[in-house]
Amino acid sequence: MIRRSARQALFRRSTTEVERSLGIVLFRWGSVVLRCSSLMDSDLRQNDDESPSAGPSCFKVAFVGSHGVGKTTLCFELAAALKRRDLNVDVVKEVARQCPLPINQGTSFEAQSWILHTQIALEIESAGRHQVLVCDRSVLDNYAYFVTSLGRRREYDGLVSQWIRSYDRLFWVPILDTPSFDGVRDTDVRYQARVEELITELVGEFSVPVIQFHGHPREEWISIALNAIPQMSDQLPLFGGDAS
């Protein structure tokens, strides 16, 4: 028990350092929301009128929802449609599938912290090089998995409630079917439903603007998403030349 407590204390200290590093990165992108030392205190909540930015001039969207609802397919369908508009598009795939630690109902504080921080880091990295970023999940539904197993944490409430505002559009995908076994995600329908309940709770508490697909047939979802994304006139130049 002593060794376990010592490891957990060390991880929490290292997590704080990662959060501080994220604050520095965000500051370098021109954002003043996440200060290096403020994630553990109330200062973060004083910046409610300012939104963090994943990168300069990047339009960022994410599909939100529980597992087994078809978000990954939607991501690639939307990315393909946007590329047909001659836009420079990237996809941030579901981070949890690359997690080196156990996920689902047997997850840990370490695993869920890794997922949240990696999600943010990948968004920052990709947004600096692309016009549009399509994310298979956002920090909000990743946090819902965290809360399902570990409960709410004040420091992560602050991080998530601020970073969620860096998305230009959030598309909420409803549960239509029970999850099928894919070798990674849990197939327990009660777990799937509990995650959805927590997403609903967090959307309301953090006042997150979302575009819901609920009540619309599946074949209309991509059209709804495309119509919510504005036409972008300043396309990237071909062959690295000037835009003029």
For residue 21, tell me if it sits in a domain: no
Q: Considering the entire predicted model, what is its pTM?
A: 0.76
For residue 35, tell me if it sits in a domain: no
Can you give the residue range of the structural domain that contains 66?
Answer: 52-231
Residues 6+ apart with CB under 8 A from 60: 54, 123, 127, 132, 133, 135, 166, 167, 168, 169
What's the CATH number where 224 sits? 3.40.50.300
For residue 175, tell me if it sits in a domain: yes
Buried b (16+ CB within 10 A) or exposed e, 144-158: bbbbbbeeebeebbb
For residue 242, tell me if it sits in a domain: no
pLDDT band at 178 (very low <50, low <70, confident <90, very high): very high
Residue that is written with structure tokens 């997150």 in the block: 208
For residue 95, tell me if it sits in a domain: yes
Give me the pLDDT at residue 181, please: 87
Q: Tell me the per-residue pLDDT of 58-88, one tens digit each, with 9 for 90 and over.
A: 999 999 999 999 999 999 999 999 999 999 9
What does the radius of gyration of the chain's CA atoms come to, in whole angstroms?
Answer: 18
Q: Structure tokens of 201? A: 């709770």
For residue 102, tell me if it sits in a domain: yes
For residue 202, tell me if it sits in a domain: yes
pLDDT band at 26 (very low <50, low <70, confident <90, very high): very low
Per the structure, how many domains does the chain have?
1
For residue 133, tell me if it sits in a domain: yes
**What one-letter code names the amino acid at 165?**
R
**What one-letter code names the amino acid at 204?**
G
Average pLDDT over residues 34-55: 45
The helix (run of H) or strand (run of E) holding residue 221 is helix 221-228
